[in-house]
């Protein structure tokens, strides 16, 4: 009877990975798992299929565990490989960040400014402010990440983002401060051809009879939606689609008889352009203000100071 494999200590695996792993091996592994094919992964990273197969095999022998399962139509990650994928993506993403920083500093006087922002801050403020900032400060390279607050806070906490444009947090993280830029409010929106768009007054009971496109559970606008209808003891009908994607919300409201609740900062521009209609609904709650989450005083660079000043001017 064969003996079961001996589990390797994490310290041993770490030393092996540091000494013998090549970044190309990790890249091939991630892309093969994502594409379901070593051949396609090899083509994407510029290797032959044989070289890509060898790279994955060397990595598997190094850690003494199978990371990809081969089958008739390609490959899929094993349970271990599946668990490793988010970590490996993070490592490769950090390497991209290093390249961006080096590229910015290789320019004369170059500085990399990594900004994270929620969708409302992008549409309401950054689309107007960042192009002019780039024109005025050509030695600064701005890298903008648009994501959910949870993703942005994680990036700020581990240093991948220099500053955030988010709503006021309940508690600011240690080593950070929040500077408000503008107030925001909730809107009930529909397409311009929706029957309610012709009403001068819309009461809450009327909205109970409409179908709604909702954001995910736990999101700010989902909580606002639930508070709005809580006094009635029931909620309106909802679509079978749940999303916080702004393009998808815009298209759904345009093409279907549905309603959606959205921050004014997300949709004001589309209302002004006639692509959406904001219903005249009372009892809508104010939202936490949007502002900049910054490192504590003295912990930021000149470029971040310049951007904060410009955003304050544009938000007034």
- The answer to whether 226 and 285 have CB atoms below 8 angstroms apart is no
| Contact indicator for 179, 300 with CB cutoff of 8 Å | no
Residues 219, 280: one domain?
yes
d(CA 266, CA 191): 15
Q: Is residue 1 part of a domain?
A: no
77 and 212 fall within a common domain: no
- Above 90 in pLDDT, residue 14? no
Q: Which helix (H) or strand (E) holds 146?
A: strand 140-146
Full domain range(s) for residue 302: 108-316
Within this chain, do residues 119 and 239 fall inside the same structural domain, yes or no? yes
Residue 187: CB atoms within 10 A of its CB come to 22
Report the mean per-residue pLDDT for the chain: 88
For residue 2, being part of any structural domain is answered with no
The reply to whether 162 and 285 lie within a common domain is yes
Q: What is the mean pLDDT of residues 101-111?
A: 64
> What's the rounded mean pLDDT across residues 211-224?
93
Task: Note whether 62 and 133 are same-domain residues.
Answer: no
pLDDT at 23 over 80: yes
CB 57 within 8 A of CB 30: no
Among 78, 99, 120, the domain boundary falls at 99
Sign of CA dihedral 51, 56, 60, 65: negative
In a domain, 3, yes or no: no
pTM of the model: 0.68
Confidence of residue 178 (pLDDT cuts 50, 70, 90): very high
Based on the fold, state whether residues 151 and 238 are members of the same structural domain.
yes
Domain holding 308: CATH number?
3.40.190.290
pLDDT of residue 300: 59
- Label residue 182 by pLDDT band (50, 70, 90): very high
Look at residue 181 and tell me whether its pLDDT is greater than 60: yes
User: Is residue 315 over pLDDT 90?
Assistant: no
Map 45-114 to HEC letters.
HCCCHHHHHHHHHHHHHHHCCCCEEEECCEEEECHHHHHHHHHHHHHHHHHHHHHHHHHHHHCCCCEEEE
What's the rounded mean pLDDT across residues 221-225? 92
Q: Is the pLDDT of residue 5 over 60?
A: no
Residue 71 lies in a domain: yes
**Cα 218 from chain centre:** 16
Q: Which of residues 4 and 91 earns the better pLDDT score?
A: 91
Model pLDDT, residue 109: 55
CATH of the domain at 81: 1.10.10.10
Residue 5 inside a domain? The answer is no
133 found inside a domain: yes
Residue 269 — left, alpha, or beta (φ > 0 → left; ψ -120 to 50 → alpha)?
alpha
What pLDDT does residue 175 have? 84
- Selected residue with higher pLDDT from 1 and 202: 202
Q: Does residue 1 have a pLDDT over 50?
A: no
177 and 119, same structural domain?
yes
Give dist(CA 22, CA 30) in Å, integer.
Answer: 13
pLDDT tens, residue by residue, 252-289: 999 999 999 999 999 999 999 999 999 998 878 789 99
| Coil, helix or strand at residue 82 | helix
Number of compact structural domains in the chain? 2
Both 234 and 119 in one domain: the answer is yes
Assess whether 273 and 193 both reside in one domain. yes
Residue corresponding to tokens 């549409």: 123
């Amino acid at each position: 009877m064969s003996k079961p494999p001996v589990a390797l200590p994490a310290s041993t695996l770490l030393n092996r990975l540091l000494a013998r792993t090549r970044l190309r091996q990790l890249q091939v592994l991630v892309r093969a798992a994502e594409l379901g094919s070593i051949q396609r992964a090899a083509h994407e990273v510029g290797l032959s299929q044989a070289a890509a197969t060898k790279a994955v095999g060397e990595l598997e022998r190094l850690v003494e565990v199978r990371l990809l399962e081969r089958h008739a139509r390609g490959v899929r990650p094993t349970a271990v490989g599946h668990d490793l994928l988010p970590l490996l993506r993070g490592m490769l993403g950090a390497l991209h960040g290093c390249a961006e920083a080096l590229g910015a500093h290789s320019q004369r006087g170059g500085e990399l400014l990594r900004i994270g922002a929620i969708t409302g801050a992008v549409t309401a403020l950054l689309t107007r402010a960042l192009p002019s900032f780039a024109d005025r400060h050509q030695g600064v390279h701005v890298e903008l990440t648009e994501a959910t607050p949870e993703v942005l806070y994680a990036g700020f906490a581990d240093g991948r983002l220099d500053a955030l444009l988010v709503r006021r947090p309940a508690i600011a993280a240690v080593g950070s401060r929040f500077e408000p830029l503008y107030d925001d409010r909730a809107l009930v929106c529909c397409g311009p051809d929706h029957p309610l768009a012709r009403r001068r007054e819309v009461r809450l009971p009327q909205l109970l009879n409409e179908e709604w496109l909702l954001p995910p559970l736990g999101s700010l606008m989902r909580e606002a939606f639930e508070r709005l209808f809580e006094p009635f003891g029931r909620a309106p009908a909802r679509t079978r689609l749940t999303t916080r994607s702004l393009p998808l919300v815009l298209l759904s409201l345009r093409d279907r008889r549905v309603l959606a609740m959205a921050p004014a900062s997300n949709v004001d521009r589309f209302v002004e352009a006639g692509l959406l209609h904001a219903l005249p609904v009372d009892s809508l709650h104010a939202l936490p203000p949007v502002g900049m989450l910054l490192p504590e005083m003295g912990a930021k660079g000149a470029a971040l100071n310049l951007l904060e000043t410009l955003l304050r001017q544009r938000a007034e």
